[in-house]
Structure 1
Amino acid sequence: MSDTIVAPPANASAGKKTARQQAVSIARRMGLTGNDNNSSNAVAHRADQRLKNLEDQKQLNIEAILKMAINLAGNAVNKELDADWQFQFCQMAEQIHNSSMQQLWAQILATEISMPGSFSLRALETLKSMTQREAILFSRAVATSVQLNQEPSRKLLTGVRREAGLGGFSAAKQESINLSGLGLPYSNILLLKDLGLIYGTELETGRLPKAKMLLKCQDQNLPFTPKNNRLRLRYYRFTQVGDELSRLITEPANQEACKAISSTLATHFFQG
């Protein structure tokens, strides 16, 4: 005798579901009750109903995204969207159910209409594969990243290295920024790498000239001037896809990151 799929008692924590409640919800969406007839006709009927529910949900998803995009789009006259890009966008966007993620997809469409070529299909594929948790992690990485002078690519600074001076009068020295303390432990760096958002190898600039440089940390500008010409910055660099998707992030700069960067560079740079 099979069990009927009934909703278990509500969890005491408002708004939260037990694992069993979630499993029941999924089963019901698939058309199961617990006392299901397994005849070929009954199975075919449930399959048809499941496919209809799926198509209905896809339609609701794309409609929600389009409505948000309409509200975000301006009145500038631009070229028509690339037909292939538009088709691929709709194919992917219809699978986005989470409202927060739908907002990101609406931003992409509105931006692409205003500035064609802003988002590649590879960037769309990457975003489609991301969970909300991964999107939150990426937002944190963007808020912690900097842009050096006029360079468009974002960087997660990991520290600064000073080369030894001629004749050994000045020893080599290295200062590190604790990314883990800023909410980006190495496991998160690896995850961002696996998602194709940053390069996994730590990189280093060439020797920095003794000239004023600007580190842009989201909405903040941090001016620095190297005290000598033997300094190099170390960092993880965002990929092209990471840079494209970072345009969607409006989160303000991570203040703790700005302080950590300023503190780490203070020994080797004049500030201001």
Structure 2
Amino acid sequence: MSNELRSRWSDSGFTTVTVALKQAAPADTGCALMAFALADQARPEAFDVVSRLKKRGIQVWMISGDTPAAANAVARQLGIDHVMAGVLPEQKSEMVKRLQQNGHNSNSTESTISASDTITDSLQKDNKHRPFARVAMVGDGVNDAPALAQADVGISVGSGTAAAMETAPVLLMRSSLYSLMTLLDLSQVVFRRVKLNFVWASMYNFVCIPIAAGLLYPIADRGLPPVIAGLLMIASSLTVMASSLSLKLYREPKH
């Protein structure tokens, strides 16, 4: 197999596998019988999902065990600017840990890092303003389980292996990557509702506690009746509960 053909396959995103025959004699170098070009097919929605994530200001990294040439070819197809290539299964969690420690800069330039590089120095160059980063890891294989456990948010796809699904705290029930966008959208909606409930409860107690303590006694010459105080307390809880239950009205955005 010529180096030119091997290079062309790698540049096209294929991983080359060669089958060789070697005699038992130590001096025999053997000969190549056949070569295969293997490649994983990207999900049809992958490019659109990556574009949506980048529009949200989320930096997308691809961690792959393929050669840098093959990994870069796939990354170019999907619009991914940052690639960690040649990573062994046990090194994936270390890569995630280093990303967490060194953070990222959303304006950083395109970069490719192999497992043999000193990636700590490479990542520090891209991050002068944010020393730490929150990392979400999406994976579906057995080899992804340690990285899913290391990430701040481990996300497994429903069609993945049992090890990945048991390790990741978040499970996408559908195999479509659009579920990831729904997860992000729903998380923001829930977090906004939590903040709204907190602000409402704080303001409610800020106003009602002084009244219950007798703030109006000098004016009305009487305190707040216990029955009224109890009803107001129940009203506060019911309001927060109704606000939370309104999340049932959430509808998945159209993709």
TM-score bracket relative to the smaller structure: under 0.3
Which protein, 1 or 2, shows the higher relative CO under an 8 Å CA cutoff with sep ≥ 6?
1
| Greater share of residues in helix | 2
Q: What is the TM-score normalised by the length of structure 1?
A: 0.24
Q: Normalising by the residue count of structure 2, what TM-score does the alignment of the two structures yield?
A: 0.25
Structure with max Cα Rg? 2
